[in-house]
Structure 1
Amino acid sequence: MTHADSAQLGIGMIGYAFMGMAHSQGWRNAKSFFDPKLEPRLVALSGRDRAKAEDTARRFDWQHVETDWHALIARDDVDLVDICTPGDTHAEIAIAALAAGKHVLCEKPLANSVAEAERMAEAAERARADGVQTMVGFTYRRVPALALARRLVRSGRIGRLRHVRAQYLQDWLTDPGAPYSWRLDAQRAGSGALGDIGAHVIDLTQFLTDEYITGVSATMDTFVDERPLPEGEGTGRVTVDDAAVFLGRFSGGAMATFEATRYATGRKNAIRIELNGTEGSLAFDFEDMNTLWFFDSSTSTETQGFTRILATEPTHPYLGAWWPPGHLLGYEHGFSHQAVDLLTAIADGTAAEPTFAEGLRVQRVIAAVQASAAADSRWVPVGDTESTDSTGNAHTTSEVA
């Protein structure tokens, strides 16, 4: 099927900042480099600041601008709603969009609490019966080297999993004079480093291993309690974690260590994953994102060692649509792969992944980490925690499905 005879899918996006621009680039390149069965049409962009929304719309060729997300959802020419807003708005927007029969792509983490995520997952399940698709924006799943790692794990190349090590390290808050932002407000962000970046490695490790985190023992800290407001007058109180560290256990018995911090001086966007199995190991660092390291214990001891795989071959996941071997991909390409996968799932009527149910599973791990840290690192089973939503009401979560 060529672009000329592809059916079109109208995209409406809510949010225009960092993630809005990344998603815009993803939708645009999805139809430029791939031949999706549904061609995305960038119909409308919504944002409260019309001038900023119009600027993003102009640069990425969105056809219309709305200042009210309700109006965007109500448009007949919008078939899919892409949510790129802070976490406190995800549940309301997603549930409204699903009720209107729209497909939904929602940025991670799925919500700010388990209770919100449960409502979203339930709405997604109801909508799925009518052919409506949902996906959570865990884009690092679509890094070719990581998709290749999953393929190797699934084919048994590392044997039975023994150890999982996962870190997400950034340093953009190491300066105590760095300005306050919504990401430091628990009411808007839900959590700090844990939900913002820790959610990614929680999802990635479960994705790579095909196993689930069953329990955690955690500690969290906030290093700077107040930060200057960006307007230049006064300070804002930091109500989220700056760093989270926890032990975990996977459903197959493997031991795990996790670290998420925005205070790792010198680390800009280091997503480090290592899997150790009975037959081999895999290692990855996003700051060298085109490379996967693989150790195969079945080879001769004389030549054993980690093999550097440059994941740029046409046979590697997603690479057939891009450049010749050795011509590297970057951060933005994961958003194109995400768009293509979602368009394909909608066209074929297959479940888009990660589903809202998978997003809920990550939310339950986040809740367990928070509960453990609040209880002096007590071991907390995932799914056997009490979460608190933004109104302060307690909810007891059910076991992971």
Structure 2
Amino acid sequence: MKSKRQIRVGMVGYRLMGRAHSHAYRDVPFYFDTECTPVMQAIAGRNEEGVKKAAEKLGWASYETDWRRLIEREDIDLIDIVTPNDTHAEIAIAAAEAGKHVFCEKPLALDLEQAKRMLEAVNKAGVTHMICHNYRFSPAVQFAKKLIEEGRLGRIYHIRATFLQDWLMDPNFPLIWRLQKDISGGGTLGDLGAHIIDIARFLVGEFKEVVGTMETFIKKRPLGTMSDNLKGQIESTTYGEVNVDDATLFIARFENGALGSFESSRFSKGNRAGNRFEINGEKGSIRWDMENLNNLQVYLGDDEPGLQGFRTINCTEEEHPFAQVYWPAGHILGYEHTFTNIITELMNGIAKGTSPYPNFEDGVRNQAVLEAVEESVRNRKWVSLGEKIL
């Protein structure tokens, strides 16, 4: 049997997304027959005690306390970035210049200018690159894409999408890095809105113009940290300013004439991870809810009268993208499988010398929409994507 090419992975960071990515690297060879197979070579983090424990628990062969050392290592082929947003650009550009392939968590950067520099760096180096918009890789979302491409919905008129959470509603929840613009780049818009923007681009097409509004409900919070299960721990009696949005709403026009409405919030009581969309076309509609991610609701207008209505498709059949490698139909998949699926695409891209979607170009286009929404809020007017993506 032909031996597979090993891709030796170096991951920077090890918290929530680090655990999700680690799980996926371990599972890819178990489920998928790829030409390249990931090897969990090394992990990097600033706290030696923490990164050592993470390496042992998650299954990494070694660890470093400086990401620069990770990039210098000759036994590393791919750099995976799961650190706070303000570090993405520096690490990705350095990795590309060292000839390493790059996989980066979203949003790609703090701002559009950084994102463009990251794209330029990976293109100049000729390395494979992807951004981790994992929700694209739910079999139900992939099947939605298939139905749209086959013309089953006809011309698309609307998309309405939300990503709603409620873990931040306690006014005493601490001022974590996600609430500081110089580290996160933005609040719910960049954290949650980035996902629904990417799904909209994936399913409907490119944005033409946007107009929006945003609000910060709690202006000051005590200093502290957050655990992987979104629980806060206050570490100081000192309060700091929250300078990002708690909630953002915007509407959009797409290049193909479709209209869209988008809402991201961490102040939506009862919503733990309300990542949802509905798309309406001339021939039918589809609905998806990440909290019930195996199911796609489908309405087809050519059904006979009396039988028309939304049907629920459990996307675990062998006909559904990615689902066929897992369990028998109806045996439910989970959040973790979306990471396994996207990293499988990454391995296939490295084998072929290509950068599968979503890659850094998608990251730039998503960042352009984020920037346009923020500009719209500041200036209280519609903003065209126009020159932003050039």
Looking at structure 2, the residues matched to 257 and 88 of structure 1 have their Cα atoms a distance apart, in angstroms, of 28
What's the offset of the Cα at 1:6? Answer: 1.2
Superposed counterparts of 1:1-400, under 5 Å = 5-128=3-126, 132-209=127-204, 211-230=205-224, 231-376=235-380, 378-383=381-386, 398-400=387-389
Could you list the per-position Cα deviations for residues 6-56 of structure 1 after superposition, in whole angstroms to 9, with x for gaps in the alignment?
111100000011111111111111122222211100001000011111111
Looking at structure 2, the residues matched to 347 and 102 of structure 1 have their Cα atoms a distance apart, in angstroms, of 14
- On the 8 A contact 2:283/2:300 being kept in 1, the answer is yes
- On the 8 A contact 2:207/2:253 being kept in 1, the answer is yes
Could you list the per-position Cα deviations for residues 62-117 of structure 1 after superposition, in whole angstroms to 9, with x for gaps in the alignment?
01110000000011010000000111111110000000000000100000111101
- On the 8 A contact 2:368/2:388 being kept in 1, the answer is no
What's the offset of the Cα at 1:350? Answer: 2.9
What's the offset of the Cα at 1:399? Answer: 4.2
| Percentage of identical aligned residues | 44
Looking at structure 2, the residues matched to 125 and 7 of structure 1 have their Cα atoms a distance apart, in angstroms, of 23
Q: One-letter code of the match for 1:205? A: A
Looking at structure 2, the residues matched to 399 and 331 of structure 1 have their Cα atoms a distance apart, in angstroms, of 33
More displaced stretch, 284-293 vs 232-241: 232-241
Looking at structure 1, the residues matched to 177 and 388 of structure 2 have their Cα atoms a distance apart, in angstroms, of 31
- On the 8 A contact 2:45/2:51 being kept in 1, the answer is yes
Looking at structure 1, the residues matched to 368 and 158 of structure 2 have their Cα atoms a distance apart, in angstroms, of 21
More displaced stretch, 351-360 vs 246-255: 351-360
Looking at structure 1, the residues matched to 323 and 191 of structure 2 have their Cα atoms a distance apart, in angstroms, of 28
How many residues are matched?
A: 380
Looking at structure 1, the residues matched to 58 and 327 of structure 2 have their Cα atoms a distance apart, in angstroms, of 22
Looking at structure 2, the residues matched to 54 and 248 of structure 1 have their Cα atoms a distance apart, in angstroms, of 46
Q: One-letter code of the match for 1:64? A: S
Looking at structure 2, the residues matched to 370 and 184 of structure 1 have their Cα atoms a distance apart, in angstroms, of 16
What's the offset of the Cα at 1:193? Answer: 0.1
- On the 8 A contact 1:80/1:103 being kept in 2, the answer is yes
1:391 maps to which residue? none
Looking at structure 1, the residues matched to 134 and 35 of structure 2 have their Cα atoms a distance apart, in angstroms, of 21
> Partner of 1:135: helix, strand, or coil?
strand
Looking at structure 2, the residues matched to 181 and 328 of structure 1 have their Cα atoms a distance apart, in angstroms, of 34
> Partner of 1:345: helix, strand, or coil?
helix
Looking at structure 2, the residues matched to 256 and 61 of structure 1 have their Cα atoms a distance apart, in angstroms, of 42
Q: One-letter code of the match for 2:133? A: F
- On the 8 A contact 1:186/1:192 being kept in 2, the answer is yes
- On the 8 A contact 2:250/2:263 being kept in 1, the answer is yes
- On the 8 A contact 1:127/1:133 being kept in 2, the answer is no
Looking at structure 1, the residues matched to 239 and 295 of structure 2 have their Cα atoms a distance apart, in angstroms, of 42
What's the offset of the Cα at 1:127? Answer: 2.1
More displaced stretch, 50-59 vs 39-48: 50-59
Looking at structure 2, the residues matched to 94 and 65 of structure 1 have their Cα atoms a distance apart, in angstroms, of 19
2:228 maps to which residue? none
> Partner of 2:236: helix, strand, or coil?
coil
> Partner of 1:332: helix, strand, or coil?
helix
The TM-score, its normalising length taken from structure 1, stands at 0.93
The TM-score, its normalising length taken from structure 2, stands at 0.96
Q: One-letter code of the match for 1:223? A: F
Structure 1, unpaired ranges of 5+: 384-397
Q: Post-superposition, which runs of at least 4 consecutive aligned residues in structure 1 deviate over 4 A?
A: none
Question: RMSD between aligned alpha carbons?
Answer: 1.1
Looking at structure 2, the residues matched to 16 and 185 of structure 1 have their Cα atoms a distance apart, in angstroms, of 20
Q: One-letter code of the match for 2:22? A: S
